[in-house]
Amino acid sequence: MRRWLFTTLALVMLTGMLAGCGERGATDSGGTSGAGTAGSAAADFSQTDADLFTDRDYETDYGEDGSILIQLNGSSAAASSDSVRISGTTVTITEDATHIISGTLDDGMIIVNAPDTAKLQLVLNGVDIHSETSAALYILEADKVFVTLADGTENTLSNGGTFTAIDDNNIDAVIFSKQDLTLNGSGSLTITSPAGHGIVSKDDLVVTGGTYRLTSASHGLDANDSIRITGETAITVDAGKDGIHAENDEDASLGFVYISDGDLEIEAEGDGISAGAYMQIQGGTMTVLAGGGSENGTKESSDSWGGFRGGGRPGQSSTAADDSSTSMKGLKAAGDMLISDGSFAIDSADDSVHSNASIFVNGGVFEIASGDDAFHADETLTVTAGTIQITESYEGLEALHVYVQGGDISLVASDDGLNAAGGTDSSGTAGGRDGMFAGGPGGGGGMSSSSNGSITISGGTLYIHASGDGIDANGSLTISGGYTVVVGPTQGDTATLDYDTSAVITGGTFIGTGASGMAQTFSDSQQGVVAVSVGSQSAGTAITL
């Protein structure tokens, strides 16, 4: 069989390096449409830090004058105000004031039951609170509570492994708040929850400062309405479910995640960060290990011959390695996702970056190893800037419509490098083509067999190493700019290019190598295209055009 140029060789497509090298900066209607779509969707992400954080969220000052002091003494407690009710090791705060809490409770809890207009501050000034059967801190009633970690202090909150009902609320976290909750300060807080969540807010959960170390059997951070993180914040999570989880069962517009700064290190058996609505990331540093990492990949190449170093583990089928009901993604949003900046190191058993709607990457530095897709969107995936290095994946970039308008992308895929397909996140099989170098449509694999997908490349740099199709457009492919290099498969029924309806190049540079048995070239072009087929060659053989 004839093969492409890699270890053994065959087909070389050189486009844009001939005929004046094409117009590298040119765009086409597909790229313009994608940019417009990206701009319209990105405009929906209009909120900034100023919109989502109040001055009070950052306020960490306090003084003993005018504050209520609470001293914890192991099996007892004392307070400087009668507004604090103490019953054994249960301390109940009822006044809208600043409370400074120090000391140890061996088996007890702090309860906030203040007026529903209260915006009170709790200062953790070196506390160690353990509740054997409930929350260490339970916020029952208030408008909003600000928990400040006193500068230089180390604080510990923990649960003994069970949660026993004390009222009508299902308390299931070490910090459990029915109201808005803000965490700030410059101290540290360690939370251990062997039976439930680490921190729960039934409304908004805001973090603007502090160092947090959470170990939980369920979610690390959990909120109904939103989770918002910024400032000099360091969060380390080891979670039995999701590291950070926001979801609202009653209002689909709520349950969003917003991160603009901070250092997050997450190890989760479920998703690293999960948003039931949308996710917006403006900055920060994130290290995520989800589901044990790519070595526990949920999707593998069906080809027993493997290929490049990457997602394929020979002999395994394209099925979930674990219970398919368990999501093990790095970053996941049910709605749209916008990433404008930040540093991301993601190692995930399932998709590394996933949206049930659309993803917009406008910046950031990514290092990704995925047991399934590196980036997957059910609708549109748009990359305008950023540096993306994918060392392992089943498919690199996948969506119904894929737009690459900028950025520096390098990827390794055990199946397709770029895949345009819609619907469910599953891979299809390659369809028939009309023969070697066929210019017309051919069948392709992907999430579905529909032919309404599209891939549009109008800028950026792409280096693709794929054991399946290098670029698989279940629909149309348009290239109007950028610099694209595809190192495709050396054998099998896959090819460097695979499309259903058309493949048009009007600018930019495209270089592709791989097996020629099922190869397609462009159906139309406005610049020079060379397609060459040669017999099998030894590795290292020089090819001169």
Please calculate the CA angle 338-343-344 and round it to the nearest 5 degrees: 80
Please calculate the CA angle 274-402-529 and round it to the nearest 5 degrees: 155
Q: Which tokens sit at 91?
A: 């301390």
% of the chain beyond a pLDDT of 70:
78
pLDDT of 308 reads 35
DSSP code string of 62-90: --STTPEEEEEEES-EEESSTTEEEETTE
Please calculate the CA angle 243-52-203 and round it to the nearest 5 degrees: 55
Tell me the average pLDDT across 315-327.
Answer: 51
- pLDDT tier for residue 485 given thresholds of 50, 70 and 90: very high
In 3D space, the residue among 351, 350, 322, 299 whose CA is nearest the CA of residue 468 turns out to be 299
More confident residue, 343 or 252: 343
| C-alpha distances out from residue 66 to 69, 96, 218, 431, 462, Å | 9, 12, 39, 75, 61
Residue 500 has pLDDT above 90, yes or no: no
Beta bridge partners of 255: none
Q: State the Cα–Cα distance between residues 267 and 270, nearest whole angstrom.
A: 9
- Alpha helix stretches (DSSP H) within 307-402: none
Q: Which tokens sit at 223?
A: 């909120």
Which H or E element spans position 41?
Answer: helix 29-43
Q: Which of 317-321, 338-342, 345-349 has the lowest mean pLDDT?
A: 317-321
Please calculate the CA angle 277-283-289 and round it to the nearest 5 degrees: 70
Q: State the Cα–Cα distance between residues 274 and 353, nearest whole angstrom.
A: 10
Locate tokens 């009710």: which residue? 85
pLDDT of 19 reads 33
In this structure, the strands spanning 11-15 and 529-532 are antiparallel
% of the chain beyond a pLDDT of 90:
70
Q: Which tokens sit at 491?
A: 């054998």
Please calculate the CA angle 315-318-322 and round it to the nearest 5 degrees: 95
- Three-class SS state of 436: coil
Looking at this protein, which amino acid is placed at residue 537? Q
In this structure, the strands spanning 380-392 and 401-404 are parallel
- Segments of 240-284 assigned E as strands: 244-246, 256-259, 263-268, 273-275, 279-281
Q: What is the pLDDT of residues 148-184, one digit of tens each?
A: 999 999 999 999 999 999 999 999 999 999 999 999 9
